[in-house]
Structure 1
């Protein structure tokens, strides 16, 4: 086993980037200022109004298809056509902090997971989903190098690190169920961040994380990725573009501009796969890792359209949240996912 200290910088970056992906409450100073659309900037003598987008990237960067639209300036170009410019606001605490910002009116849109978005809706925050930025967000199980297992069923009685109530917890619950087990058949260590340090210290048998960091952990000797490719797409989750319902109703052209940018990014990805890996790359996850994750160069998961598969995944998430008492109020997926905005955008 490699010296853990060697990876401190990588682990810190990964912890910050992926530590909080679920739902719950947290404080974030980015939510203190209420957004207004009265602020303007001048671009070639044209006054543009500001629209604020919440991001999970620490530097204001977006992920998945939205990252391509951001890097290629598709958001800027489409929004300028309707008199707006984007301001990206980063939330280190991801979903919970973004929900706070929506609640206070500090942001207008956000690209983040369907699980926290559904939680927000259940809690009475008036937002709606207008597109997907990824319909196939995959997760991986990283197991201790010393653990000899040949199937998921062999995890019975093992100690697994995962954050309760977030998307990784749902993935673990689903994959155990697919293999005849339940969450009660394993020993859960409730943490979204401690897996990469507990595993090499032999304090845990496995942890769950997103696919990209899983590959990086494996490359750096933290553990080995257990192959779940047979059910990866089936058990993947959604990343969505959500917006405040009031803002969307008052500014439909802005919502449509976002969708047009995402549609352009999807088409760009199909035509320029090499450039896509560069656009998705970060300091922690370089292009070569992105290429391992996105092996299908049709990039079907980047299609922003909301289809039957999208809705079924969202309904599965609603059921999971209710069954685990994470939400109490039901969410009508057919109403929450507003397909009319997309339809109007692509027809123009």
Structure 2
């Protein structure tokens, strides 16, 4: 799976470079906006983009062509509108975002194109304190769960619960963003 994503992103970078080479001189930089956590005052990127940043291969490939790669870290709260604004004022070139901001952008006339869908394979984890005896979601029925409500993962989480014969009403849901939820667990 990692090879698939790496190859897909390499093709995406290649297409970007090829298209810009045919249409215009190479850009000075490529700006990619992505949601990040802040830890110790520095952004921490997760998912596929985090892996790309960690490996450094995309930055290296662009650097060989004289193009600077800029990762723009955005907070979870409000990332969708910030990305849409970035596309509409041309301050970003690419972004990693969810379905809802894409729909809102399209409805507002902000052009965009899906290049690499996230789909299955994204890893989202249910975390419990170390002293917890819970081994499955069923063990947490009736307990408090932190869930950032109204976000794309709520739908996926609801589907997961349904696959286990559960529903959101089986839990006491605290509407917390991922950072605050992690702090609450610790």
Question: Which residue pairs with 2:182 in the alignment?
Answer: 196
SS in 2 for 1:142: coil
Question: Which residue pairs with 2:89 in the alignment?
Answer: 104
Per-residue displacement from partner, 1:3-33 (whole Å, max 9, x unpaired)?
xxxxxxxxxxxxxxxxxxxxxxxxxxxxxxx
Which has more radius of gyration?
A: 1
1:88 aligns with 2:88: no
Unaligned runs of 5+ in 2: 1-24
How many pairs are equivalent? 153
Question: Which residue pairs with 1:21 in the alignment?
Answer: none
**Partner residue of 1:142 out of 103, 127, 135:** 127
Please report the TM-score for the alignment, with normalisation by the length of structure 2.
Answer: 0.60
Question: Which residue pairs with 1:166 in the alignment?
Answer: 151
1:56 aligns with 2:35: yes
Question: Residues 128 and 134 of structure 2 are in contact (CA less than 8 Å); yes or no, is this contact kept in structure 1?
Answer: no
**CA–CA distance in structure 1, aligned partners of residues 134 and 128 of structure 2:** 9
Per-residue displacement from partner, 1:85-142 (whole Å, max 9, x unpaired)?
43332223473232332233321112x2434554444543321111257852211112
Higher relative contact order (CA 8 A, sep 6+): 1
Question: Residues 161 and 188 of structure 1 are in contact (CA less than 8 Å); yes or no, is this contact kept in structure 2?
Answer: yes
Question: Which residue pairs with 1:283 in the alignment?
Answer: none
Question: Which residue pairs with 1:130 in the alignment?
Answer: 115
Unaligned runs of 5+ in 1: 1-45, 200-221, 223-348
**CA–CA distance in structure 2, aligned partners of residues 145 and 47 of structure 1:** 51
Taking the TM superposition and a 5 Å limit, the aligned residue runs for 1:1-348 are 48-57=27-36, 63-70=46-53, 71-78=55-62, 81=65, 84-93=67-76, 95-96=79-80, 97-110=82-95, 112-115=96-99, 117-121=101-105, 123-124=107-108, 125-132=110-117, 136-144=121-129, 147-149=132-134, 151-192=136-177, 193-199=179-185, 222=186
Tell me the C-alpha RMSD between the 2 structures.
Answer: 3.6
